[in-house]
Amino acid sequence: MKFTVVGSGAMGLRYGVLLQDAGNEVDFVDGWKPNVEKMREQGGVYVSRDHEDKHLVPVNVYYPEEYDGNPDCYVFFLKQMQLSDMLKRCEHFFKPNQYAFTCMNGMGHVEKLLKYFKPDKLVAGTALVATVLNGPGDVDFIGKRGAGSMNLANYTEKPDEFTHQLVEQLEKAQFHPNLTTNFRGTLMAKVVFNSVVNTLCTMFEMTMGEYAAYDGANEMSQQLIDEAYDVCERDGVQMLNTRKEELDSINYVSKVANPLHYPSMYQDMHNYRPTEVDYINGYLVKLGQKHNYFAKTHAFLTHEVHLAELGKQRELKQMREEEAAPETVVEQQRVVGR
């Protein structure tokens, strides 16, 4: 099959590189200039696994405006707040017979993709896979080859021949895909997972394993899971897991599969980028409000993350001012600060 990965960050590179390794033809489309230029300069992307065996993997990478390929399927991996703009930039090469597949975090992307792809051409899912982008053209796959798993479903909840071919290729790439016929339940399972682990690890600057090792972690996780499930049940979502199974999943991934991993929201916060909290915890709050239910813990965490973002932006501003200021002025400021 031929794939075009739109969004060549951590997850886009992981999916694209492994699908390429499995024998598929893969192109990469990205709008981040440092990333595109670095990969072109070095002739591909440097790939490590658990910080070891760093090697160069040749890839074809393009800016949206210059791409004219004709893949069977597009693989979308972007931040929720980046998707609308990227879709506009890519619109000129979309064709009616092509499929869109995505495992983006949070909720909000489905409605955007449906503006460009027919409902029967949309497949979405969730990826329990840890990956870190060290910098432009440099990605680190976390976990041994074959680590992690994923769920996916057709928007129509009616798998067709293409969907089964997609699942076959994802299996060859060792993503361990589980095809379901429960679209919203499949996507919301990851939203609930992320609303616990991503958010709490970000706020307390710790790995998933460090969070799960805390004596009160189960109680904290269960409170967030219960609120999220209360919201989903009110909106008619049939969840894939029971509440207990969801807690067990969080503990397994955090303690066994990826204990050393810092979630993507932490990576964004640490690198002074906006987080996707509005599309995760914030999404649950808004969904609950539709049914006069207030997910107060998720609301509190959403505000808390935004407050932390404000602090990080202030820190970034101060760093830039110090870099721009003459050395003597900076030293005087430090003396006054003492």
Token match 């975090």: residue? 105
Average pLDDT for 272-281? 97
C-alpha radius of gyration, the chain, whole number: 21
- Its sign, for the CA torsion 289, 290, 293, 298, is negative
pLDDT tens-digit series, residues 200-225: 999 999 999 999 999 999 999 999 99
pLDDT at 147: 85
- Band (328; pLDDT cuts 50, 70, 90): low
pTM of the model as a whole: 0.92
Residue 222 backbone dihedrals phi, psi, to 5 degrees:
-65, -35
Average pLDDT for 10-30? 98
Name the least confident of 37-41, 152-156, 298-302, 318-322: 318-322
Three-state SS string over 148-172 comes to: CEEEEEECCCCCCHHHHHHHHHHHH
Residue 337 scores a pLDDT above 50? no
Torsion of CA 221, 257, 206, 8, to 10 degrees: -110
Residue 248: other Cβ atoms inside 10 A:
12
Average pLDDT for 27-36? 98
Residue 153 scores a pLDDT above 90? yes
pLDDT tens-digit series, residues 54-82: 999 999 999 999 999 999 999 999 999 99
Residue spans of alpha helices (H) in the chain:
10-21, 33-42, 80-90, 109-113, 161-172, 183-203, 208-213, 217-234, 243-252, 264-270, 281-289, 296-324, 327-337
Residue 330 scores a pLDDT above 60? no
Residue 118 scores a pLDDT above 60? yes
Name the pairing type of β-strands 149-154 and 177-180.
parallel
Taking the CA of residue 71 as centre, how many other CA atoms within 13 Å lie in the half-sphere pointing to its CB?
A: 24
pLDDT at 132: 94
Rounded alpha-carbon distances, angstroms, from residue 228 to 221, 225, 280, 321, 328: 11, 5, 10, 42, 53
What is the C-alpha to C-alpha distance for residues 177 and 95, in angstroms, rounded to an integer? 26
What is the C-alpha to C-alpha distance for residues 274 and 162, in angstroms, rounded to an integer? 36
CA 212 to chain centre: 21
pLDDT at 326: 73
Residue 131 backbone dihedrals phi, psi, to 5 degrees:
-145, 145
